[in-house]
Amino acid sequence: MPASMRCEASTPARRPVRPLRVAGLLLGIAMLATPAQAHKSSDAYLFFDAQASQTTLRWDIALRDLDVVLRLDADGNRALTWGEIRSAWPRIDALALGALVVPGCRFEIQGHALEQRNDGAYAVLQLRAPCQMAASAALHYSLFADVDPTHRGIVR
């Protein structure tokens, strides 16, 4: 058979692989495989101790959450100082006392502290009320309700 009449199976022309397209695909896959980094939920911790004549409360509130609402970082350098926190205690107290209602109990601030936890620094409010709070008392808790609907007050 003459060469001009030979039938050869034609193979489709290969498209050149484009390095940028491959790199983009690999980057997309890598991004999907990367674990998501979640922001720590906004939690405050309330520790009640009900006695016969009084109820005490230790309330731990994350400084990062307080800073969002009260702008504790007065100089805006993204680092809270003891002076900034100390000057903010009256605003922290007012915010907290307005966000917790326990029927029959009126809490008053007795002291302050700071505590470093694994997820950041916390303002610690020590409160006392001259009442006997029942274990089944109905609490109305609304701290950060207007800015963070996922915030939780965890009671013990």
Cα separation, 94 vs 103, whole angstroms: 18
Amino acid identity of 115? E
Give this prediction's pTM: 0.72
- pLDDT, one tens digit per residue, over 27-63 is 444 444 434 434 567 899 999 998 888 999 999 999 9
Confidence at 20, pLDDT banded by 50, 70, 90: low
- pLDDT, one tens digit per residue, over 85-109 is 999 999 999 999 999 999 889 999 9
128 φ/ψ angles, rounded to the nearest 5 degrees: -145, 145
